[in-house]
Structure 1
Amino acid sequence: MKADLHSYLKGGRDALLWKLDGLGEYDIRRPLTRTGTNLLGLVKHSAFCETLYFGVVFGRPFEPELPYAGDGADPNADMWATADETREEIVALYRRAIAHADSTIEALALDEVGRVPWWGDAAVTLHRVMIHVIAETQRHAGHADIVRELVDGAAGLLPGNDNLPAGDESWWLDHRRRVEQAALDASGRGNEHVVDDRPLRDRRDVP
């Protein structure tokens, strides 16, 4: 069971890092939602989460302590990269956090108990922590899917397995047009609204 859980965790990690491939500094950092969601920030945040749940919870602290951890840290400091923080530094941090987490996963049994200070010092097993971090990581991988598609239209699950229907750009434009028209029809506006079938990356209203 541990191997299965670990496999799903590794898949989410790989997807997050893959979403950075082929993009410049601006595009991996640019905020594409009202709350500032961005690709490099998702990686930075995920590194932070791994150090907490597989480090602090089981008395195996990650060293050195991250500067954006603790009560005095700026709110949301782990969700974006400053201009001075390089892509290479944050990716390397994530890989170190992963190695630290994996050492915890390999060393402990699934029924090993740790404590989560930010959950009111609740007692939790490694099994529960792995499920929690899998959910967290896969959720952020989904965020990264959408952000990357907004940046340049690229989509897919993992390298070599996009998990999408086979279709060229024309097929996807037609598909999007049908989805948009269905939404308009359901809203009662019907054909009163002109369907904008350009790719998202070509629209002026996309940040």
Structure 2
Amino acid sequence: MIDEFAKEYLHNDLRGIREQLLRKLDGLSEYDVRRPLTATGTNLLGLIKHLSLSESRYFGEIFDRPFPEPLPRWDDLAARGFDMWATQDESREEIVRRYRRVWEHSDATIEALAIDSAGYVPWWPRPNVKLFNIMVHVVSETNRHAGHADILREQLDGSTGAHAQLADSQSEAEFWEARCAVIEEAARGAAGVHDGAESGL
């Protein structure tokens, strides 16, 4: 009983966060979904592309149910990092459609297997796993990248929340400006910063 509850609980979490991630692309230009927004090049469309590859592996070859489309080998060092950004020739629609196909494949694996079904992750220090381990791992990784996506989207246009709603009302902008001023004051106080100089340094 608890096994089925745990499996369905994790699966529902995964379904929900996948959809939230895709909504972070809504209303953005081709440039904004692709452009690097951190020093390491993190970008919204790249997060989707990366999660497609990661999830397809974890719910595919790990359980001897390979995703039916070509994937780079996990141990191909030359290919590392190329899943984190979209080339000029890869369309947003293509990347999103692939992610949805991965979902279908993953969901079929999750539904077909018991939560204690055995899998093997060759790149993990303890490679012998159960479906439970992989579900927890993929939910955690997807949530982690959803957090990245939240921050990137807010950087781009102030949009926040699960539905990427724009924070465009004057009253909301004023609220957040005042909140940031309070947070800045607290940070300066904690660091002993007064009038632009740190005390005691």
TM-score using structure 2 length:
0.87
Change (3 A) 1:154 1:68: farther
Pick the aligned partner of 2:12 from 7, 29, 49.
7
Cα distance in 1 for partners of 2:196, 2:127 equals 55
Pick the aligned partner of 1:42 from 47, 51, 55.
47
SS at match of 1:117: coil
Q: Which residue of 1 aligns with 2:176?
A: 172
Cα distance in 1 for partners of 2:161, 2:8 equals 24
Pick the aligned partner of 2:61 from 56, 79, 91.
56
The one-letter code matched in structure 2 to 1:14 is E
Number of residue pairs matched?
188
Deviation at 1:53, TM superposition (A): 0.3
Q: Which residue of 2 aligns with 1:126?
A: 131
Confirm whether residue 82 of structure 1 aligns to residue 90 of structure 2.
no
Cα distance in 2 for partners of 1:126, 1:176 equals 43
Q: Which residue of 1 aligns with 2:3?
A: none
Cα distance in 1 for partners of 2:164, 2:80 equals 34
Pick the aligned partner of 1:142 from 120, 144, 147.
147
Write the deviation string for residues 135-163 of structure 1: whole angstroms up to 9, x where unpaired. 00000000000001111110112468x9x
Instruction: Please give the root-mean-square deviation of Cα atoms over the aligned residues, in Å.
Output: 1.9
Write the deviation string for residues 92-123 of structure 1: whole angstroms up to 9, x where unpaired. 11000111000000000001001001115711
Confirm whether residue 181 of structure 1 aligns to residue 181 of structure 2.
no
SS at match of 1:131: helix
Q: Which residue of 1 aligns with 2:121?
A: 116
Deviation at 1:19, TM superposition (A): 0.4
Q: Which residue of 1 aligns with 2:98?
A: 93
Confirm whether residue 66 of structure 1 aligns to residue 71 of structure 2.
yes
Confirm whether residue 32 of structure 1 aligns to residue 37 of structure 2.
yes
Deviation at 1:90, TM superposition (A): 0.3
Cα distance in 1 for partners of 2:173, 2:19 equals 26
Q: Does the 8 A contact of 1:114 with 1:123 survive in 2?
A: yes
Deviation at 1:184, TM superposition (A): 1.6
The one-letter code matched in structure 2 to 1:52 is R
